Structure 1
């Protein structure tokens, strides 16, 4: 305990800047920003990670108060951008779920996401929770912490500059998340469209059949079957999305 306090007091400016960058990631990152996690636990985790990173850095900065405030803002931006990139790709599952819900008939049934305390699509919440569990099983949260540690090799204290490349990277991350969501929902949308065509033909050939009564539960059944059948493909796609998250984070800290 004495060694910890000595480290904090001897490098208090460095520890403060490291903790600001770490806290910025914990604000947006989908793995660490969950509302279900008590704030005291988030603070303790941020403190512990910052303490470990500070002990590995050999610099001993000595800044004035004005420069320190500017550096705090820069470090906070670095952490927020890293967390935002990871969250942007996870929002693809909400996009996918919203499209799937509208096609199979769950469009009016939203649920409360306890992590962000907002209403989210029913299937979007299912895919998000499933991807979150897979991320934890693949130690994806370790990759985020590893990227945080490596960021000091490529982006030292005070080295952040907001440029056009940074803005383009964030826009590209958002666009890729929407693209992923649309692509993942394409098979279900196509099959439900064919189902609507078949129901339209049946309504013309057999007018006595009430297609509106039969069509709704049929589309729900077909949609759930396609979701079940496509689960192995979804597991494969998850690995690619995790790779995109890590690649974009490293692209940001290197450029």
Structure 2
């Protein structure tokens, strides 16, 4: 018959609960694993499997009771680390969504919206289309494996109980959010520029020939040219996403290094 002491039970619970919350917080906040279409049971099951895998490889854990105020503080710390990494990865995908919003509005498809379960609100159909392609490209580039490896390696660079998250970390994340607008505009700029010039030409044409109204000629022409330009944009979409994902991974590494500073 096996006898277990309370100290052993505390050690086993600590080696599971704290890494489980960091990993699960990341899975919930990440854009792919945290998608609303994935059942909660699947996310929890994946979190449990990864925790069982990483538990024997953890560095020495702090001698802190799990059910205590200090243990609660460590629990919140793990949640913040996991959510921060997942949120940064979600901002990478928001770049493509922002570009789709810009393009859809300029093409005159601002009214063509559908409900997006991942963001919990309506989005322009062009934005949703580009987002789905980005998810597939993320899987094709094995980005999900790369980011999972980064998260699991954080238990070495950010050991449980050995992290003091500074306010500068949150400032770093806020500054990185500017990538959503800058990179999104950079992706959509060729289409926006071409469609803007065409709209200016249509405005001049409408003044010289009032019978050529915007609704009879301008809208079909803008939509057709926009779709053709999107086909051209797709030829360079994969290299853009590769650079975007690489930049996101590098920023996550920078964020982890900033968290590790004391």
Contact 1:96–1:185 under 8 Å retained in 2: yes
CA contact 2:28–2:43 (8 Å) conserved in 1 = no
Q: How far apart in 2 are the matches of 1:206 and 1:63?
A: 79
- State the partner residue of 2:205: 202
- Once the two structures are superposed, residues 152-178 of structure 1 have per-residue CA deviations (whole angstroms, 9 ceiling, x without a partner) of 221111233232320221112211121
Q: Given the alignment of the two structures, is residue 50 of structure 1 paired with residue 61 of structure 2, yes or no?
A: no
1:70-89 paired onto structure 2 within 5 Å: 70-89=73-92
* Alignment equivalent of 2:147, drawn from 134, 144, 147: 144
Cα deviations by residue, 1:170-226 (Å, 9 ceiling, x for unpaired): 112211121111111111111011111221232234344334310001000000100
Distance in 1, matches of 2:148 and 2:194, equals 41
Q: Counterpart in 1 of 2:241? A: 238
Q: Which ranges of structure 2 fall in alignment gaps of 5 or more residues? A: 1-7
**Alignment counterpart, residue 133 of structure 2, candidates 107, 130, 136:** 130
1:9, distance to aligned residue in structure 2 (A): 7.6
Query: Which of 55, 66, 69 in structure 1 is aligned with 2:69?
Result: 66
Choose the corresponding residue for 2:111, options 108, 126, 133: 108
Q: How many residues end up aligned between the 2 structures?
A: 249
Equivalent pair of 2:114/2:125 in contact (CA under 8 Å): yes
Q: From the superposition, tell whether residues 208 and 117 of structure 1 become closer, same or farther in structure 2 (CA, over 3 Å).
A: closer
1:146: Cα distance to partner?
0.4
What corresponds to 2:32 in structure 1?
31
- Indicate if the aligned counterparts of 1:11 and 1:60 stay in contact, CA closer than 8 A: no
Offset of 1:145 from its aligned partner?
0.8
2:186 equivalent to 1:183:
yes
Confirm or deny: 8 A CA contact 1:75 1:158 kept in the other structure.
no
Q: TM-score scaled by structure 1?
A: 0.92
CA separation in 1, counterparts of 2:157 and 2:60?
Answer: 15
Instruction: Decide whether the 8 Å contact of 1:78 with 1:160 is kept in 2.
Output: no
SS in 1 for 2:177: helix
Superposed CA RMSD in Å reads 1.7
Q: Mean alpha-carbon deviation: is it higher for 39-48 or for 157-166? A: 157-166
Note the residue ranges of structure 1 that are not aligned, 5 or more in a row. Answer: 1-6
Q: Secondary structure at the match of 1:31?
A: coil
Counterpart position of 1:91: 94
Higher mean C-alpha deviation, range 110-119 or range 22-31: 110-119
